Structure 1
Amino acid sequence: MYVAPIVYAAVSSLFTVHRSGLGLTAPSKVFDPLGNYARALHDGAFTGALGRVALFGVVQVPLMLCLALALALLIDAKSARGKGFFRLAGFLPYAIPGVSAALVWSFMYSSQSSPINRLLAPLGVSVPFFDGHLVLWSVANIVTWSWVGYNMIIIYSALQAIPAEVLEAARMDGASALRVAWSIKVPAIRGALVLTAVFSIIGSAQLFNEPTVLRPVSGGAISSSFTPLMSAQSAVAAGNYPYAAAQSVVLAVLVGVVSFVFLKLTGRGGKA
């Protein structure tokens, strides 16, 4: 189930599609092991999509995990009230399908119907959500809104596993709630933080639903190759499956390398 599609994609990427000049005959596949990969690495749209997703991950992932950690610590606080309500409220955005969430946010971002800009209108402020320099962060806002609650639940579950006597001993020693959270709780849930970070890195590389849904209303700010997966999908739509496979393989290798390096660095930090 897992290996077969990967092997098929890797094998398909070793062929290039050749078409006749007039396009009157069926395209043929020619074995060219490096052809598609060379094209992908010299394709400005694809490399631009890789850079865009890398920037997205560098900014959005730490911000999202910090918010998830803060919410989990607040709900886990001894003095917190209504924990069940706030857990459910934080998790609800994740329960909404990504496409549906993007549709709702497209209405929030629309230049004609945006309630956000209507509220800001008396202040003389209008946010250009689909401006070329802002559109990536408009997408990041949707992803953050959708996934903070999911990561919060994972982190909160890890907090529940901390022995109560350890926390009580720290309080008896005079440690403040902030000190307990920073010096005891956060180090104790390091494994959960690493896990959510790896999941988020992989999720960033798979960015597709949100920009695809926003594309028709973005006024051209979101192109068909806005993300690597969108670029690969464009190649599929053009009937060039081997090139799409090569793009997918490049993305998979890069994500694997980044995840491996991240795990090595975090593992080394844990041993230290």
Structure 2
Amino acid sequence: MSGHRVRAGYLFVAPFMIVFVAMLVVPLAYAGYLSLFKEQLIGGTTFVGLDNYVRALGDERLLGGVLRVVRFFLVQVPIMLGLGLLFALALDSGMMWLSRFIRLGIFVPYAVPSVVAALMWGYLYGPEFGPIAQLAGALGLPAPNLLGEDFMLGSIANVVTWEFAGYNMIILYAALRAVPPELYEAAAVDGAGAWRTAWSVKVPALRPALLLALIFSVIGSFQLFNEPQLLQRLAPNVIDSAYTPNLYAYSLAFTSQDVNYAAAVSFLLGLIIVVVSYTVQLAVNRNRP
């Protein structure tokens, strides 16, 4: 009987494993293989070992894109997670009217495809016909160039925050619903008010969920692609092909046809994500009381 159960377990897991190997393991292995070669005019495809990785480590355009997404991460992620935490605490307080409707309204932007969101905000940012520029003109104020070099990174951060604040709110709100009621009762017995309960009971209980959301944000920040790729058409002089590492790898592979170097850049980007994610997790766990 146990043998039948074991075989049944393997049969249930088999579809996932097949898709996992076919869609993730095999492409990764093939990309790693490509990154060790170089296409040359004389001699064709040649094995170069780690030369592509050495080249990437000294590539100023790649390093500039990495530093740009680091700045993006340090500014955008705290704001996004802070908003998600604020929304989750407000909904969990039980003092909001129409809480289900409000929760759905906050979450809806996440259901909007990032392509549609970027196009929508690109229209809103438009320096000539966008509503923001028209409102500034109606008030007699100079229209801010939200697609200019000084504002572009902040404009992209605003789009991403609008998209994912609700997603993080759902993660944190679900974690709050799992907090044992005994903790709230103990806080009430000790005379803690709503603010004290939120700070001393709810926020500490959310630490694992916040860590999960933070790691997801690390991955998303370093994989930033759709928003700058679409806004590039509106501001080609501001967003170049190396504005973010993901956009640079895409341009190398599909515009410059340098798939070998693009594979090496992608692998380095994946390594950076792993290192940063592990560092964040280690730092949070060390600070845990």
TM-score range, shorter chain: over 0.9
Amino acid paired to 1:46: L
Of the candidates 89, 93, 101, which is equivalent to residue 77 of structure 1? 93
Secondary structure at 1:133 match in 2: coil
Question: Where do residues 1-272 of structure 1 align in structure 2 (5 Å cutoff)?
Answer: 1=21, 2-20=24-42, 28-121=44-137, 122-237=139-254, 238-270=256-288, 272=289
Amino acid paired to 2:246: L
Distance between the aligned counterparts of 2:89 and 2:142, measured in 1? Answer: 34
Secondary structure at 2:232 match in 1: helix
Q: Which deviates more from structure 2 when the two are superposed, residues 120-129 or residues 172-181?
A: 120-129
Partners of 1:236 and 1:244 within 8 A in 2? yes
What is the RMSD of the two structures over their aligned residues, measured on CA atoms?
1.3
Partners of 2:85 and 2:172 within 8 A in 1? yes
Partners of 1:205 and 1:255 within 8 A in 2? yes
The offset of 1:13, in angstroms, is 0.7
The offset of 1:169, in angstroms, is 2.6
Aligned residues, how many?
Answer: 265
Partners of 2:126 and 2:133 within 8 A in 1? no
Distance between the aligned counterparts of 2:274 and 2:224, measured in 1? Answer: 16
Secondary structure at 1:17 match in 2: strand
Distance between the aligned counterparts of 2:41 and 2:124, measured in 1? Answer: 44
Partners of 1:13 and 1:243 within 8 A in 2? yes
Distance between the aligned counterparts of 1:61 and 1:118, measured in 2? Answer: 30
Distance between the aligned counterparts of 1:260 and 1:142, measured in 2? Answer: 27
Q: What are structure 1's unaligned runs of at least 5 residues?
A: 21-26
Partners of 2:128 and 2:134 within 8 A in 1? no
Amino acid paired to 2:183: V
Higher relative contact order (Cα pairs below 8 Å, separated by 6+ residues): 1
Q: Which residue of 1 aligns with 2:15?
A: none
The offset of 1:80, in angstroms, is 2.2
The offset of 1:90, in angstroms, is 0.5
Distance between the aligned counterparts of 2:214 and 2:120, measured in 1? Answer: 27
Q: Which residue of 1 aligns with 2:6?
A: none
| CA offset digits 1:212-233 (Å, max 9, x no partner) | 1111111411111111111011
The alignment's TM-score, normalised by the length of structure 1, stands at 0.94
Distance between the aligned counterparts of 1:138 and 1:224, measured in 2? Answer: 18
Amino acid paired to 1:191: P
Distance between the aligned counterparts of 1:63 and 1:29, measured in 2? Answer: 47
Partners of 1:130 and 1:219 within 8 A in 2? no
Percent identity over the alignment is 43
The offset of 1:55, in angstroms, is 0.9
